[in-house]
Structure 1
């Protein structure tokens, strides 16, 4: 079984949380029993999270050797220029080594759900949206990549993992999907 889930902002990618006070987890969304997250999406990120009850499928979805592309819509602080986009496309040097090249392009502001809490608006600081596709999945990689090129991330929404897409799922909604 493969589940596509739109993980809301501020939800952990696990079913339990031992912190005090406890934070929202996947347990609150009526997901089928015996599934677990195939990969991660940070607490402060939103969007597509795949869950499965199949260990082989989870490995295929998450192992860097399989190079499953992950596509994100990223709201950044600032106005990206051609040089910054090119840096992202060529790969950037992070503290844990260089990233693989990414696909990066400017994106018109997408029609997304309201985030709770909303991204802080500042009249004097412009922002823009990027579509960024990467083929690796280091800790907070997209945020670190955009910061490295001078474009701090304000909002991060994963819209696809390989052939699997959000396709209209609202935050907290899920559906069973074909495991290609």
Structure 2
């Protein structure tokens, strides 16, 4: 029976079990999945950047891993994104239509302004600036390019301050604190 683990990856943790580079820039060894998950034989289905937080799925089933991570299967991924600036309808429309980035056009995304979500505090906290407003966007993508959410928000004039992946397909972070994980039933479709 295949295993599927939902993990709430904290900020600063690499999406791998070992740190091939050895350490960060002068800050000693970097945190990895092995600091949180002691389950043999599972591997991440996709990645989250070290400076992103949230849902990471791990499995021991190669076909399931591909179905989750491969953009051809277009599993929707929803991100809660704190951005610098004021979210405008024009910016949201650009995200919804798709944007031209250096590596080509993005697929249209679902994008909406949201109230600040009830999340755990980030460590370290996002820098607060009294003179610069910030806002939150819920952004759902069906592709997964390198640092895509950050590049998309920057392209519409809203640099990302905090990025939390909340949902992948039918799986969400509901009830998972940072660094926690739980095993779930594997879908049979």
Tell me if both proteins adopt one fold, taking TM over 0.5 as the criterion: yes
1:80 alignment partner, SS class: coil
Cα distance between partner residues in 2 of 1:157 and 1:46: 5
Cα distance between partner residues in 2 of 1:123 and 1:137: 33
Task: Verify: 1:57 aligned to 2:59, yes or no.
Answer: no
Cα distance between partner residues in 2 of 1:97 and 1:173: 36
Task: Verify: 1:3 aligned to 2:10, yes or no.
Answer: no
TM-score by length of structure 2 reads 0.93
Q: Tell me the C-alpha RMSD between the 2 structures.
A: 0.8
Structure 2 segments unaligned to the other structure (5+ residues): none
Cα distance between partner residues in 1 of 2:100 and 2:47: 22
**Where do residues 83-94 of structure 1 align in structure 2 (5 Å cutoff)?**
83-94=90-101
Cα distance between partner residues in 1 of 2:37 and 2:44: 14
**Which residue of 102, 121, 126 corresponds with 2:128?**
121
1:49 alignment partner, SS class: strand
State the 1:121 CA deviation: 0.1
2:178 alignment partner, SS class: coil
**Where do residues 1-180 of structure 1 align in structure 2 (5 Å cutoff)?**
1-18=3-20, 19-20=22-23, 21-180=28-187
1:157 alignment partner, SS class: strand
Structure 1 residue ranges (4+ consecutive) displaced by more than 4 angstroms after TM superposition:
none
TM-score by length of structure 1 reads 0.98
Cα distance between partner residues in 2 of 1:53 and 1:169: 21
State the 1:155 CA deviation: 0.1
Structure 1 segments unaligned to the other structure (5+ residues): none
State the 1:178 CA deviation: 2.2
- Quick check: 74-83 or 12-21, which moved more? 12-21
State the 1:115 CA deviation: 0.4
Cα distance between partner residues in 1 of 2:77 and 2:186: 16
